[in-house]
Structure 1
Amino acid sequence: MHAPPTGLSYTIYYTALAVIAVPGEQFRALKTPSVDLPECAKRTANLVTVGILSRGKCGLSRCITLYLVSMSVTDFLVIVTAVIINRICRIYFPGSFLDITPVCSFTNAFTSAARLTSVWLTVTFTFDRFVAISCQKLKANYCTEKTATVVIGTVCAIGCLINIPWYFVHEPIYVIDGIPWYCRLREIRHTSPAWITFVWFDRIATPCVPFLLILLLNALTVRQILVASRARKRLRAESNVENQNDAEMESRRKSIILLFAISWSFILLWMAYVVQFLYVRIASNYKIQNNDPIFILREAGNMLQLLSSCTNTFIYTAIQSKFRAEFNKLARYPFTMFSKLISKSRN
C-alpha cells in the first residue's frame, strides 16, 4: 500500500523539506514588474534557483545554465509530488481526493518520471562537462545551447514514457459508492516475469547505471585535468609566468568543484536507497513491517534521496560567488522595498 509513514519525526522532516525546497513569498521580487527578469523567470517565481539562473548573471555559459535550470525544475517536481502530495497531504489530510485510486496512481507514476528525469539530467550534465574538459574536438559541436535543449527534451520525454506502466500496477483497497479508494500494488507486481524484469530495469536505470556513469566520467575528467595541469605548468615555467594567476585553470577548477559537488551529493544521498533495494530483491523480503530494520532503512533511503532534490541550491550558493550575490540580492529585496515604503510614507 502506498501510504506515508506516520510519526512526529516523519511529519517534521517532510514539512521542513518542503519549506526549504519550495521557497515562497519572501522571494516575491522575482515576479515584481520593476525587476528586470526574463519571462521564463517570471513564470517560475516560486523557484528561486530557476529564477536566478535564468537571469544569466551567474557567469555560466548558456549550455550549463540550461542543464542546471532543468535539474532544478525536475527536482522541484519531485518535491511537489513525492513530498507535498504523496506525503504531507496524506499525513495532514487522510482520506482526501488524493487517495482516490486513479489520482494516487497518477501521482506515483509522475513522481517516478520526475525522479528518473532528475537523475539522468545529472548524468547528462556530468557528460557535458566531461566533453567540455576532455574532448576539445567534440566540444564545439556538443557543448552548445541547441544540443543541451535537444538532450534535455529527449531525457524528459523518455522519462515520462518509461514510467507509464507504473500507473497500471495499482489497484484499489476499497470501492465505496462506485469510487475506488487508496492504492496498493497488484500481486502481479511480484509474480509476473514481465513486471519483475521491468522493476529491475527501473532500479538499474535509476540510479545504479547513473552511479557507474558518474563515477566513470568523473574519473576520466580528473585524469584529463591532471594531465592538462601538468602540461600547462611546464609551459608556464618555460615562459617564466608561473607566478601569475592562470585564469583558465582557475575557471576549470571552479567548474570541476561544481561538477563534483553535484555528482557526489547525488551518489551519497542515493546510497541507502540502492542498498535497501538490493537487499530486498536478493533476500526476497517484500513484506516489511513498521519498526523492522529494513523498514527503517527503506524510509531512511527515501528521505535521503528526496533530500537530494533540494541540495543543488545550497551547492550553487556555496560554490558560485555570482549565484550567491544574486541570491543575497533577492533575499534583501523585500527589506529594501519595505524601507523605501517607510521612507515614502514619512515624506
Structure 2
Amino acid sequence: MVTIMILLQGKCGLSKCISVYLTAMAVADLMCLVFDVILFELHGIYYPDSFLDYTAICGMNFFLIFTSVECSVWLTVAFTFGRYVTISCQNLRTQYCTEKTVKVVIATIWGLSILENIPRYFVSEPQLITDNIVWFCIVKVSLYTEPVWITYLWIDIVFLTFIPFLLVLLCNGLTIKHILLTSRIRKALRGSDNDSELENRKKSIVLLLLISANFILLWMVILIHFICAQITEVEFLQTNHSNPFAILEQAGHMLQDLSSCTNNIIYVASQAKFREDLKMLFKYPLTLFLKVRK
C-alpha cells in the first residue's frame, strides 16, 4: 500500500509508463497478499469455521487467488518486455512505451487472467453439508481423471510458469547483451574505465540477473510439485502435513506468494528517489509529533 501511495504521487523520477506498470504490479501483489495469505492461509488459523469456509466463498477465493497471481506474473513479464523495448529497440520505443499502450496492455492482462481462471471456481466441491449449508472446499476427483481438466491444468501451468520463465529470460538476456555491446563501444570510444554511465549499466545488469533468478527460483518448487501431481497419484491441497508432497506443495505456495512481492520490491526499491520518498513517509509522523509538542 505504501508503494502504491508513493508511485501515485509521481515524484520518483520515473517515466509515466514505468510508474503505471509498477503501480499495477503493486496492486496485483497486494491482491495476492489479501486473497491468498490473509483470506486463505491465515483465516484457517485465527478464524476457523467462519463464513469464509462456505463452499461458494472459498471457491470464489480460489478464483481470486489464481487470478491475482497470474496478473502479478504477467505484469512482471510485460514490464520486463517494456524495459527491453526501452533500452534495445529505439524504433519501437516511441510506439510501445506510451501511457495509453501500457494501460491497454495492463487491461488485457487483467481481462485474460479473469477469463482463464473462471474454471478455477468449479474445481472444488463441498466437503461437508450441515443444515443445508455447504462447507469447505475439496478438489474434485475428476480433476485428476477427466481429460478436459487435465488439459486445462497443463495449459494453466504452461502459461503461468514455462512461458513466463522463457520470456523473462529472453528479454533480460537480450537487454543484457545490448547493454554489454553498447558499453564495449562506449568504453572503446572514451578509452577510460572511469565512466559513471558504465557503472549504471553494470548495476542494470545485476538488477536484471537478480530479477530473473528470483522469479525462476521462487516458482521452481510449485512447478516441481505440479509435475509430480500429474505423473503420480499425488493430490492437490492435502491436509496431511506430514506427507512429503504436502510439505512440498505448502513450501511451493509460500515461495509463490513471496515471488508476488519480491519483484515489485526489487524494481521499486532500486530507485534512489523512491527510497527518499519512503524515508520521508516514515519520518513524517515523527516530524508531526515534534511539531505538536512544540
Q: TM-score, normalised by structure 2?
A: 0.93
Match in the other structure for 2:284: 333
CA offset at residue 223 of structure 1? 1.1
The change in CA–CA distance for 1:243 and 1:283 in structure 2 (over 3 A counts) is: closer
Tell me, yes or no, if the aligned pair for 1:78 and 1:111 is still in contact at 8 Å. Answer: yes
The alignment status of 1:298 with 2:249, answered yes or no, reads yes
Match in the other structure for 1:153: 107
CA offset at residue 316 of structure 1? 4.7
CA offset at residue 205 of structure 1? 1.0
Partner Cα distance (1:101, 1:72) in 2: 29
Partner Cα distance (1:253, 1:149) in 2: 30
Query: Letter of the aligned partner of 2:283 in structure 1?
Result: R
Match in the other structure for 1:5: none
Tell me, yes or no, if the aligned pair for 1:316 and 1:323 is still in contact at 8 Å. Answer: no
Match in the other structure for 1:17: none
Q: Which structure 2 residues correspond to residues 113-152 of structure 1 after superposition, within 5 A?
A: 113-152=67-106
Match in the other structure for 2:231: 282
Query: Letter of the aligned partner of 2:130 in structure 1?
Result: I
CA offset at residue 251 of structure 1? 5.2
The change in CA–CA distance for 1:57 and 1:255 in structure 2 (over 3 A counts) is: farther
Give secondary structure in 2 for the equivalent of 1:173: strand
Tell me, yes or no, if the aligned pair for 1:72 and 1:312 is still in contact at 8 Å. Answer: no
Partner Cα distance (1:64, 1:124) in 2: 11
The alignment status of 1:81 with 2:35, answered yes or no, reads yes
Query: Letter of the aligned partner of 1:121 in structure 2?
Result: L
CA offset at residue 253 of structure 1? 4.6
Unaligned runs of 5+ in 2: none
Match in the other structure for 2:161: 207
Query: Letter of the aligned partner of 2:223 in structure 1?
Result: V
Tell me, yes or no, if the aligned pair for 2:221 and 2:251 is still in contact at 8 Å. Answer: yes
Identity %: 47
The change in CA–CA distance for 1:48 and 1:87 in structure 2 (over 3 A counts) is: same
The change in CA–CA distance for 1:243 and 1:254 in structure 2 (over 3 A counts) is: closer
Tell me, yes or no, if the aligned pair for 1:126 and 1:263 is still in contact at 8 Å. Answer: no
The alignment status of 1:272 with 2:221, answered yes or no, reads yes
Partner Cα distance (1:213, 1:118) in 2: 15
Partner Cα distance (1:59, 1:260) in 2: 23
Partner Cα distance (1:244, 1:201) in 2: 50
Give secondary structure in 1 for the equivalent of 2:261: coil
CA offset at residue 209 of structure 1? 1.3
Query: Letter of the aligned partner of 1:202 in structure 2?
Result: D
Q: Which structure 2 residues correspond to residues 167-316 of structure 1 after superposition, within 5 A?
A: 167-237=121-191, 242=192, 245-247=195-197, 249=198, 252-286=201-235, 289-312=240-263, 314-316=265-267
CA offset at residue 319 of structure 1? 2.0
Partner Cα distance (1:332, 1:81) in 2: 31
- What are the Cα deviations for residues 46-82 of structure 1, in whole angstroms up to 9, with x where unaligned? x000111122222211111111111111000000000
Query: Letter of the aligned partner of 1:146 in structure 2?
Result: K
Moved more, 314-323 or 172-181: 314-323
CA offset at residue 317 of structure 1? 6.2
Tell me, yes or no, if the aligned pair for 2:54 and 2:136 is still in contact at 8 Å. Answer: yes
Tell me, yes or no, if the aligned pair for 2:6 and 2:278 is still in contact at 8 Å. Answer: yes
Tell me, yes or no, if the aligned pair for 1:173 and 1:183 is still in contact at 8 Å. Answer: yes
The change in CA–CA distance for 1:326 and 1:251 in structure 2 (over 3 A counts) is: same
Count of aligned residue pairs for this structure pair: 292
Alpha carbon RMSD of aligned pairs, Å? 1.9
Which protein is richer in helix relative to its size?
2
Partner Cα distance (1:268, 1:243) in 2: 34
Tell me, yes or no, if the aligned pair for 1:317 and 1:327 is still in contact at 8 Å. Answer: no
Tell me, yes or no, if the aligned pair for 1:117 and 1:159 is still in contact at 8 Å. Answer: yes
Given the alignment, which residue of 46, 53, 58 partners 1:99? 53
Partner Cα distance (2:201, 2:30) in 1: 28
CA offset at residue 296 of structure 1? 1.4
The alignment status of 1:55 with 2:9, answered yes or no, reads yes
